[in-house]
Structure 1
């Protein structure tokens, strides 16, 4: 006998599929939520790591800013020291200029002119005075231009006051200062080093060489160290007398000089 299923199997199958769909949808949601949580955790870790790096960089930047500020302060101090050094060198170079300049002022001014004022600014000088005539002013300008310590003279003014004085003309000159080449060479020329004539002088010079070498070792700048070494070498090279205790060569030591060993 045939069996006929009269139950609503289609509705049951539809409900079964709906349950499976919702179960799959729930599983997908749970998986997606887990992936989202993992992604959020990973991004938080990266953000924390980057924040730590930023904090480290900011700390290092602050330390570098402090060092840069110190370097700028040192550069400022260095600039001030260099400026002072240049001023001292300039004063040292011009230490004798004023003496020669006043001497030249006396030599160059004619008897028919007289100075009433002068002002120096750097390497230029302004002269004011009175003269008997324009010819006296012209003569004074020619004398100035032939002076080794003064250069070209520009006439700033010349006026006739028409008074009853012996020197009615007032004049003003702008004079450029200069230095003779021989004087510049003498300022930079070092005197020749002393030469030992006896064993005692040789010992004194050896002591001077030792002092120069010690000064070179304690020098704060390479220029000072080179200068002290050069002075020590010049003293050492200039000597012809053998060092104490060294054997004297007959052809280089004079017969009248007694060495430390007692040979003549």
Structure 2
């Protein structure tokens, strides 16, 4: 008789505990599943948010790089314009120089000197002409040297053997163009 259970309450208690355990297990599984789903949704949301921020930053970086390139282009254009303006200003300031230069050459040429050609390279001026005598060429060189706009005349060639210039000497000389900035001040100091 020891194996016969006359009291079914133990069986009912065991079965009630089994049901409670199964219910708790199912509840824990549901809570765990919900937690996993919540964490997954949260992580997906955070990843999407970070991707949106990254995309915004990439777009902003592209915009800034484009603006930087435009700024570089503007700086390059500005430098080109400043260089052009400088050239124009130099031309504007040197415009009266050519008038003074030719006036000085014309005033320096004595009677008997005829100029055939004048060319300028930098501040060097090459003059070719014909003179009735070597003395006229010397006087021309002295006059050029005493000029405020010209200095350091050097005779390259003097030739009296050319047939097309009878009784005349063909000459070629080089002279340096200067700006008379110091000479007028010295003259004003004397006056």
TM range (shorter): 0.5 to 0.7
Q: Tell me what 1:124 maps to.
A: 124
Summarize deviations over 1:18-56 as a string: whole Å, max 9, x none.
x9xx98899867755653443232111111122123334
Gaps (5+ residues) in structure 1?
Answer: 5-15, 190-264
The aligned residue for residue 88 of structure 2 is: 84
Q: Deviation string for 1:161-216 (max 9, x for gaps)?
A: 3648212x433211112344343678xx9xxxxxxxxxxxxxxxxxxxxxxxxxxx
Could you state the TM-score of these two structures normalised by the residue count of structure 2?
0.57
SS in 1 for 2:103: helix
2:184 equivalent in structure 1: 183
**Cα distance change on mapping 1:102 and 1:121 into 2, 3 Å:** farther
Structure 2: distance between partners of 1:163 and 1:93: 36
Q: Secondary structure at the match of 1:42?
A: helix
Structure-1-length-normalised TM-score: 0.45
**Which residues of 2 match residues 228-247 of structure 1 at below 5 A?**
none
Structure of larger gyration radius? 2
Match in the other structure for 1:237: none
- State the secondary structure of the residue aligned to 1:161: coil
- Comparing both structures, which one devotes a greater share of its residues to helix? 2
**1:89-147 residue CA offsets vs partner (Å, 9 max, x unmatched):** 2225665443233212x24x7x4x54322234453321112356767655654553344
Using the alignment, how far apart are the partners of 1:53 and 1:40 within structure 2? Answer: 20
Count how many residue pairs are aligned between Structure 1 and Structure 2: 169
Alpha-carbon distance in 1 for matches of 2:100, 2:132: 32
Q: What are structure 2's unaligned runs of at least 5 residues?
A: 5-17
